[in-house]
Structure 1
């Protein structure tokens, strides 16, 4: 008959050191959008809830990358290259 382990001591595990791996979330990067309308525009980021104010035609803003897809659907906003 097999042993059920009742007469053995429990295995001891020591954890004296710091954690071996930690997760550090990366900071969201930016995407740039330019307003090509005729006046001004305030757009709301669908993920962050942040308000982006484009005050005049040609205004360019850095937008949280998580809001990028929703900003791409806003009329008169165009993706733009990062300024140098």
Structure 2
């Protein structure tokens, strides 16, 4: 059985490097498009600990002890404000 198709495919996937041409460095578009996330601080006023998942970002926030302060993404602030044991500071 002939495996000519595999050789053809392998040949097409090879890169041809010309030493006379400048090297091309791929740009990292994902790093250029990252913007800092704006946050709001919330303090936990409950008695034990609390874990909350942001309603928009789906990020998990963990308040480990009474008085713990966490930075909450701006998109999740409305949902956090509705929790009675969290106080915006």
Report the TM range for the smaller structure's normalisation: 0.5 to 0.7
5+ residue gaps in structure 1? 1-23
TM-score (ref. length: structure 1)? 0.63
Which position in structure 1 is the counterpart of 2:56? 47
Higher normalized helix content (fraction of residues): 2
Offset of residue 69 of structure 1: 0.5
Offset of residue 75 of structure 1: 2.1
Aligned residue pairs total: 57
5+ residue gaps in structure 2? 1-32
Aligned mate of 1:68, from 63, 72, 77: 77
Give a deviation string over 1:36-63, Cα, whole Å, max 9, x none: 0000000110000001000000000001
Which position in structure 1 is the counterpart of 2:41? 32
User: What RMSD in Å do the two structures reach over aligned CA positions?
Assistant: 1.4
TM-score (ref. length: structure 2)? 0.59
